[in-house]
Amino acid sequence: TYVIAQPCVDVKDKACVDECPVDCIYEGKRSLYINPNECVDCGACEPVCPVEAIFYEDDLPDDWAWYKDVADSYFAELGDLGGAQAAGPSGKDPEQVTALPPQGE
């Protein structure tokens, strides 16, 4: 799966959302999250993020490796909703993201 890491937090550009053929990039409160059960690894989202927040899971920088767990936590709570468009923003983040100080400039 692909994973969204820290540069997305408090930025949420959402260019990635329009690229995803399976609509598996879900909006939380401070970040977006890719559903690892729904992502088909097409990779279309990765180059369009202006802040380079998206990585293939094996290519995550060490400091951000925990963002894979963040996505797992997010979908463990919300479940597989079968489409981000219909689901809409959840207004929630996993506690690891909630705990971050304000990001972005």
Enumerate binding residues for ligand F3S (CB under 6 A): 2, 4, 8, 11-16, 19-20, 22, 24-25, 32, 34, 39-45, 49, 51, 53-54
Tokens of 48: 């369009």
Our CA angle for 51, 33, 14, nearest 5°, is: 45
Q: What is the DSSP letter of 56?
A: E
Nearer to ligand F3S, 22 or 78 (CB): 22
Element (H, E) at 26: strand 25-27
Q: Is 25:89 a contact under the CB 8 Å cutoff?
A: no
Shortest Å, Cβ 9 to ligand F3S: 8
Shortest Å, Cβ 82 to ligand F3S: 14
Nearer to ligand F3S, 43 or 79 (CB): 43
Shortest Å, Cβ 89 to ligand F3S: 11
Residue 38 phi/psi, 5° resolution?
Answer: -110, -25
Shortest Å, Cβ 32 to ligand F3S: 4
